Amino acid sequence: EINSKTLMMKSSRSLYSSNSHARKPKVTVKPQSSVFTGDTVTLICDVGRSTERTIYWFKNFKRIKACSKTKTLSEVRVSDGGRYVCSVERETTQSQGVMLTVEGQLRVQPDGRVFRGQTVTLTCDIQDTDIHVSQSQEYRISSVSESHTGNYSCTGRETGGSRYSHTSDKVTLTVSGSSEAQALIIGVIAALSVAFLLIFFLALLWCCKHNKGLSHLFKSA
C-alpha cells in the first residue's frame, strides 16, 4: 500500500513537472505588426512542439474563432488591430501578447506625376470609422496648382462614441508647372507659327520681286 501511494505521488509529480516545463507559446506576425488597411497579415502560434491539441486565439482578452497554429487576416481593417494571444488546449500557459496595428491609407489619383490644371482625388481608406474630416472619404481638388503641393493625411474616429482616432500615413502631393505633353503641344504650335510666318514672308518677298519684274517689263515696252 505504501509503495502504491509512493508511485502515485511520483507519477503526479512527474506530470506536474512536464506541464511546468512545457514551452510557453509564442505569437509572431508576418510580414510585420504594423500594417495598412487592405494588407494581408498572418499570425503564427509557435508552441515549440508537435501537438494535436486545439490552438486557441484571443483578441483583446476575448476568444475568437480560430483553432489552428496560423490565423490569416485578409484585407485587414482598422478594427482588426489589437492585442493577440494564443494558448494550447488544456494548458494554462498563454503566449505573450502581440499588438497588431492597422493604419489607414490615403490614396491619390492619379498616382503618378500631377501637373497644373489636373483634377486630383484623395481617398481616405479608414474602414469601420466615421470620417472626421470633411465628413467624406473623398476630397477632390479641381484644377490643382503648385500651391497644393504638400503632405496630406486623414483622420477617422471610431464608431460607438469611442475617443480613439486613427490617422493615415502621410502622402506627398507634388504639382508640376506643366506636363511634357503640354510642353510638346506648345512647342509644335510655336514651330508651326514660325513656319507659317516664314512662308508668309517668303511669299511676300516673291510677290514683291515679281511685281518689280512686271513693272520693268511694262516700262521697257
Q: How confident is the model at residue 65 (pLDDT cuts 50, 70, 90)?
A: confident
Pairwise CA distance, residues 176 & 144, whole Å: 10
pLDDT in tens, 140-185: 999 999 999 998 988 776 665 555 667 787 888 999 876 555 667 7
Residue type for position 124? C
Statement: the pTM of the whole predicted model exceeds 0.85:
no
How far apart, in whole angstroms, are the C-alpha atoms of residue 76 and residue 82?
12
pLDDT at position 40, please?
Answer: 93
Is the pLDDT score of 8 beyond 80? no
Handedness of CA 210, 211, 213, 217 (dihedral sign): positive
Residue type, 78: V
CA dihedral 137, 141, 147, 153 (to 10 degrees): 10
Mean pLDDT of 96-118: 86
DSSP assignment letter at 96: P
Measured torsion, CA atoms of residues 210, 215, 220, 221, in degrees rounded to the nearest 10: 100
DSSP H or E run through 192: helix 180-220
Name the pLDDT band for 4 (thresholds 50, 70, 90).
very low
Q: How confident is the model at residue 112 (pLDDT cuts 50, 70, 90)?
A: low
How far out from the chain centre does Cα 56 lie? 30
CA distance 29 to 41: 7
Does pLDDT of 130 surpass 70? no
Residue 11 clears pLDDT 80, i.e. is over it: no
Q: What pLDDT score was predicted for residue 10?
A: 43
- Indicate whether 27 pLDDT > 60: yes
CA nearest neighbour of 173 among 221, 219, 107: 107
Give per-residue pLDDT as tens, 183-214.
Answer: 677 778 888 888 888 888 888 888 877 776 65
Q: How far is CA 201 from CA 3, 135, 196, 208, in A?
A: 126, 62, 9, 10
Could you tell me the maximum CA-CA distance found in the chain, to the nearest angstrom? 158
Residue 30 one-letter amino acid: K
- Please report the pLDDT score of residue 20 as a whole number: 46
Give the strand pairing for 175-176 and 114-115.
parallel
Task: Kindly indicate the confidence band of residue 7, based on its pLDDT and cuts at 50, 70 and 90.
Answer: very low
- Are the C-beta atoms of 145 and 116 separated by less than 8 Å? yes
- Rounded Cα–Cα distance for residues 205 and 183 (Å): 33
**Band of pLDDT at residue 218, cut at 50, 70 and 90:** low
Of residues 100 and 206, more confidently modeled? 100
